[in-house]
Chain A
Amino acid sequence: MAAAALTSQLNALVNNMFAMGLLDDQFQQLQMLQDSTAPDFVSEVVTLFCDDGERIICELARQLEKPNVDFDRVDSYVHQLKGSSASVGAQKVKNTCIQFREFCQQRSRDGCLKTLDLVRTEFYDLRNKFQAMLQLEQQIQACYPKH
């Protein structure tokens, strides 16, 4: 009974993430790659994305604080975040990274700073939801003890 309720919660959360545009069909591709030979694949990729994304966002903030911003370097970091976002299906973060790169190309510090704020908000929102998703999965697995 508990497992059913938790599964229902998990499905509602993930469906909502798709409906709100946080995720795209690439995330479904990742879910399809998870099976008995790689039972933790999605949580592994999501965790790596969250850690890597946090690192990149901190680095972006540091780069944009410098008196002389190296926009090529900033662009390189945004490109990395865009790439990993695309790979996990993080659609909203990916699209904001595309806008961010345009400001890098325009050498607009203000544009970059505003977009960094936006990407940071979207990333942490997604990360929180991913963490909730992983917690629910662990709780569901706990309902089926291994023999």
Chain B
Amino acid sequence: MSTKTVPEPEPHVLAVDDSIVDRTVISRLLRSSKYRVTTVDSGKRALEVLSLDRNVHMIITDYCMPEMTGFDLLKRVKESAELKEIPVVLMSSENSPTRIRRCLEEGAEDFLIKPVRPSDVSRLCNRVIMK
């Protein structure tokens, strides 16, 4: 009698970016690394998704967004008892040491400089999701 191995579900990543171009690129990068991806265009929508679906293994968010920045979203996630264990990765086209330090001190797992590369995504998989 053979036993079928049930494949592990793909890790689910929530990608947040107000730029449709960047959402499309980051989504493809993550899908090509075998993640299941949900994309939203704002921090507010990200929190709506998280309130409905707690099965999110990582949040990757742009820093500069109108109304709610990626930093604001990071703070909201880390202040929430239900969400705080979800790793949050920030992305920005600005390589600002002050900004990076601020995000890491607030609990971000990593800070990627855009444009994000496949090697950045591989590194995230090994370090963040497989923990």
Given contacts A33-B29, A33-B32, A38-B28, contact A84 B22 (CB under 8 A): yes
Selected interface stretch from A41-49, A63-71, A137-145: A41-49
Report yes or no: B32 in contact with A83, Cβ–Cβ below 8 A: no
Report yes or no: B115 in contact with A86, Cβ–Cβ below 8 A: yes
Give the A-B pair count, Cβ closer than 8 A: 56
Compute how far the CA of A6 lies from the CA of B20 in the bound complex, rounded to whole angstroms. 31
Report yes or no: B20 in contact with A41, Cβ–Cβ below 8 A: no
Which residues between 60 and 116 of chain A lie within 8 Å of chain B, taking CB atoms? 76, 79-80, 82-84, 86-89
Compute how far the CA of A35 lies from the CA of B29 in the bound complex, rounded to whole angstroms. 12
Which residues between 2 and 32 of chain B lie within 8 Å of chain A, taking CB atoms? 18-22, 24-25, 28-29, 31-32
Compute how far the CA of A44 lies from the CA of B66 in the bound complex, rounded to whole angstroms. 25
Given contacts A48-B21, A87-B21, contact A26 B93 (CB under 8 A): no
Compute how far the CA of A93 lies from the CA of B103 in the bound complex, rounded to whole angstroms. 29
Instruction: Please tell me if A29 contacts chain B, counting CB pairs below 8 Å.
Output: yes
Nearest B residue to A38, CB-CB: B28
Report yes or no: B21 in contact with A29, Cβ–Cβ below 8 A: no
Max count, chain B CB within 10 A of own CB: residue among A30, A35, A41, A83? A83
A residues in contact (CB < 8 Å) with B: 26, 29-30, 32-33, 35, 37-38, 41, 44-45, 48-49, 52, 76, 79-80, 82-84, 86-89
B residues in contact (CB < 8 Å) with A: 18-22, 24-25, 28-29, 31-32, 64, 66, 93, 114-115, 117-118
